Chains A and B, each alone.
Chain A
Amino acid sequence: MSDNLNILVVDDEPVVLRSCERILRDEGYKVESAPGGREAIIKMEQRAFDLVITDLKMPEVDGITLIRWIRKARPDTGIVVITGYPSQETVRDAIELGIIDYVPKPFTPSVLTDVIKRAEDWLGSRIPAKEKLEEEFPPSMLAELDRVINKYKNKPGSTIPVLQRAQEIVGYLPPMIQKRIARGLNIPSAEIHSIVSFYSLFTMKPRGDHTVRVCLGTACYVKGVETVLNKIKELLKIDVGGITENGKFSLETVRCLGTCGLAPVMVIDNETHGALNQKKAVDIINRYTSADIKEKTSENHEGEE
């Protein structure tokens, strides 16, 4: 089976690249390498890989940008991260983006092959379905979730913070995740569900790659946000609470973002866009389509040069 797996190793340190290549080839994998995120993207545009092993800290196009690109352009590719600092924020970002696992640096050949074997098993057993079962969440995601649960376990009143973190990690709160949290915190899962369904921040449905949140506050209402919202619905062909067919966008409304000075306002992911009208809203959303992500990577690249 190993001989079928195509692996791309990405690292800016030639030593790491060479040793990974050697170790993995010895195990019977087909291995290619790229000295940076940009080169990796170029390679992946030409052909598909089953698994990408990437460093996070790289000049120019870094690991997180590369992972974001892979999630969009090659969503079936598995990702493993090599990192010197497993506790760092970038690793957490990577976990939230859905990597399978990470290899802590420095590593021995057996550590690397173990992680890759686990990733291979996980890739092999994965069912390409929309509704995921718990077993199908990447091990790194569940490990991070358990770490959060353990951290808060003995603190009274920690249910909501745990759910908030869990939603950041997994992206949404499906029944399986709720049950895992209930077990971990030793609370009936009905109670967890009652909290999830009460607060509007929590969602039990998966979100798109980008979440568009349109503010329905009074100032936005007075300035005609409704026509903007209708235009967005028309553009994305979804209703509020829906997710586009390609999984790229989900549309939500929010009661007030408190940025009334710029009304009407919407937030896409974490970026606030104000003084909207129908045309401006359409232009902004169009910027988030996949064609532009490539441009974005190259823009970043130019910026860093």
Chain B
Amino acid sequence: MPRLKIEDLQKIKERHWSEYSLREGGYRAKVTVHMGTCGIAAGAGNVMTDLLAEIANAGAEDVIVTTSGCAGLCAREPMATVEIIGHPPVKYCDLNSEKIKEIFKGHIIGRNPAEEYALSEDMPFFKYQVLRVLRNKGMIDPERMEEYIARDGYQAVVKALTELTHEEIIKVVKDSGLRGRGGAGFPTGLKWEFASKVQSDMKYMLCNGDEGDPGAFMDRSVMEADPHAVIEGIIIGAKAIGAHQGYIYVRAEYPLAVKRLQIAMDQCYDAGLLGKNILDSGFDFDLEIYQGAGAFVCGEETALMRSIEGKRGMPRPRPPFPAQKGLWDKPSVLNNVETLAQVPLIILNGADWYRGLGTEKSPGTKVFALTGAINNIGLIEVPMGIPLKTIIQDIGGGMKKGRRFKAVQMGGPSGGCLPENLIDIPVTYEDIVKSGAIMGSGGMVVMDDNNCMVNTAKFFLDFTADESCGKCTPCRVGTKILLDILTDITEGRGKESDLETLEDLSRDIISSSLCGLGQTAPNPVLTTIKYFRDEFHAHIKEKWCVSGVCRDLCTFLIDEELCNGCGACMRACPAKAIIGEKKKPHRIIQDLCVQCRTCYETCRFNSIKILSAKARETKQAEPVSAER
């Protein structure tokens, strides 16, 4: 693309709209195949190939095929959207070769939507969402800059570079109340103001795409589906603080995000939206991608800056804050991907518009990665203040069949597990912190009665103990001790005094660690003890893991009254520990049983029961029903 002038943006926008309004382009139908990492892994590439082959075979020249990033409903990938002139678009999910061929013949050629494969737009998954950050999700081809421009792309940069002073930009962002979406929720405008006031020959504008929380994938999706929105936010931030060099720090585990950002940046350099004298406004800004090398702690701002300097990513004490002394000791601002993707909208539409959604202290929308034991797994964006319950039950579509909600884990290893009686709380920074969890970057993992909360706490401590950088002793040693105690409990060596030790040690780690990792690492332990104390007691006193997860603390038995002898468990058992005649109650030979849960998950009649470890010695032959 040649170097752009401001009026060119408008022209591209108009031209592209007409090209994309099917009628004027001379097209009858458009098919968008959604290709994020999830989609590709689920087989979107094959669907695309099959579709192209069908179109070629049929000689259907009036059908265009395009790609986009993720469409949001990750568990139902591969997905595609079919738009026929004069009809509303139809989204298809769970596609494969046969289905796309059928859809091609039935819908694209025959004009009858294949309703059995289609998603309804008024399904609650879509109904409660408000798309701001994800406004272009699944709508544009992320590798084509024109499509971003056609949807008001880079208009905010024009406004910020030509109409607004840096004070005015900061004021709008401050007034909007935008808070950092990386986890802590620090007001973005304030951060920019600090950095803008420091005098320096060099300043840096950084973007944090080191999404390390396990169970979170919001930033990956945004970078993959709409890379230009992130770049636009960075340019505006750079102008606000007066930076001329920037970096996007991306995890090496996200190769597709890196690729798409690089393509987008190359396009910006060609078009004169990055580099010298951007859009002839006199403002210079250079941007580079920096790939991480797999260290969770590098999500912390001072550690991330050390990492860009090419050193071990270890945090340092603050103050001085990065706004004064950051990357290479120069004033630096680090914002999260999602935060920056909000910025162009705020600049274009103003602070009042932004405050139109959300609450007084937590305005706007928040993106969540909704996963775990629910029906609709996906990437969602909701107004702040929405009850947690709405997210889980309506958008998430409730629990998988026959399962009971147990907890929702928010904020990854820094967050906590909230039980059922708390899911009425509104989703805002304040309310979630009050509950003991944190908003975090937006990972939301729903757990059902198949999950053991003690084991979950252990899972997170295993993570933080491994990822602790080792600088502060309380974090390095403390997390290891927490992990050891939790391991003891899950393996049947728990003592009654353990709970107190866990709580005391947790408080010490929180109060004496330097960075966010250590200060929040005990949260999963504290919240599980607070809300699921009974489970800890059962593990310690009765040596009983109710969920049947901790192998040493459970015995699987077949309830002879409920078992109808269908044999499903017998066939599924990998240890061949189940015996029994057809249509007669089966029995588990305890000496052979490896407590793998397979039978429990296979049985459709609820006849497998989980008892404590002690039951194994005594209850071998007895029918279970007699014991209760």
Contact = CB atoms under 8 A, between A and B. Distances in A.
Interface string B463-487: 1000101000000000000000000
B293 A201 contact: yes
B294 A218 contact: no
B295 A198 contact: yes
Interface stretch (B24-32, B160-168, B211-219, B530-538): B211-219
A259 B296 contact: no
Residue of A202, A216, A259 with most partner-chain B CB within 10 A: A259
Given A199-B295, A218-B459, A274-B38, A194 B312 contact: yes
Nearest to B443: A218
Interface in B59-79: 74-75, 77
B295 A200 contact: yes
Contacts of A256: 212-217, 253
A261 B307 CA distance: 30
Interface in A271-300: 271-274, 278
A257 B328 CA distance: 30
B371 A260 contact: yes
B252 A164 contact: yes
B585 interface: no
A130 to B, nearest CB: 25
Interface in B19-37: 37
A127 interface: no
A260 B447 contact: no
Interface in A152-170: 156-161, 163-164
> Of B294, B310, B451, which is in contact with the most chain A CB atoms at under 10 Å from its CB?
B310
B295 A261 contact: no
A218 B75 contact: no
B291 interface: yes
Contacts, number: 143
Interface stretch (A25-33, A39-47, A72-80, A262-270): A262-270
A199 B371 contact: no
B398 interface: no
B364 interface: no
A262 B312 contact: no
B41 A198 contact: no
B397 to A, nearest CB: 13
Nearest to A270: B255
B41 A202 contact: no
B38 A222 contact: no
Interface residues of A, number: 41
A261 B220 contact: no
Interface stretch (B148-156, B372-380, B425-433, B511-519): B372-380
Interface in B295-323: 295-296, 307-313
A218 B41 contact: no
A158 B140 CA distance: 34
Given A222-B372, A222-B445, A195 B215 contact: no
B215 A218 contact: yes
A157 B311 CA distance: 8
Contacts of B310: 156-160, 195
A297 to B, nearest CB: 20
Contacts of B309: 156-157
Given A227-B596, A261-B38, A272-B40, A219 B371 contact: yes
Contacts of A198: 295, 312-313, 469
A254 B445 CA distance: 18
B252 A255 contact: no
Interface in A170-227: 194-195, 198-202, 216-223, 227
B117 to A, nearest CB: 18
Contact of A257 (B253, B409, B459, B574): B253
Nearest to A199: B293
Contact of B41 (A157, A194, A220, A273): A273
A247 interface: no
B214 A217 contact: yes
A258 interface: yes
A271 B256 CA distance: 12
Nearest to B377: A261
A262 B412 contact: no
A1 B216 CA distance: 61
- Interface centre among A201, A222, A270, A274, by most B CB within 10 Å? A222
B254 interface: yes
B445 A265 contact: no
Contact of A219 (B41, B293, B372): B372
Contacts of B296: 255
Given A157-B310, A261-B371, A261-B378, A164 B291 contact: yes
Contacts of B456: 221
Contacts of A159: 310-311
B42 interface: yes
B41 A265 contact: yes
Interface string B278-295: 000000000000111111
A2 to B, nearest CB: 45
B377 to A, nearest CB: 5
Nearest to B49: A303
Contacts of B216: 256, 258, 260
Q: Kindly name the residue among A201, A258, A259, A262 whose own CB sees the greatest number of chain B CB atoms within 10 A.
A: A258
Contact of A274 (B42, B212, B254, B446): B42
B369 A260 contact: yes
B371 to A, nearest CB: 4
A101 to B, nearest CB: 29
B294 A199 contact: yes
A260 B74 contact: yes
Interface in B215-236: 215-217, 220
Contacts of A271: 41
B312 A258 contact: no
A274 B217 CA distance: 15
A219 B596 contact: no
Contact of A222 (B253, B447, B574): B447
Nearest to A221: B459
Nearest to A274: B41
Nearest to B328: A156
Contacts of A260: 74, 215-217, 369, 371, 377, 443, 445
A156 B296 CA distance: 23
A85 B177 CA distance: 54
A6 B130 CA distance: 68
A160 B217 CA distance: 24
Contacts of A160: 290-291, 293, 307, 310
A194 B470 CA distance: 13
Nearest to B446: A222
A186 B251 CA distance: 27
Contacts of A219: 214-215, 371-372, 377, 445
Interface of A: 156-161, 163-164, 194-195, 198-202, 216-223, 227, 254-263, 265, 270-274, 278
Given A199-B293, A218-B372, A261-B378, 10 more contacts: A160-B290, A163-B293, A199-B313, A200-B293, A219-B377, A255-B212, A258-B251, A260-B215, A262-B75, A265-B41
In the A-B complex, the 9 residue pairs with the smallest Cβ-Cβ separation, listed nearest first, are A261-B74, A218-B215, A272-B41, A199-B293, A217-B214, A258-B217, A256-B214, A159-B310, A200-B294
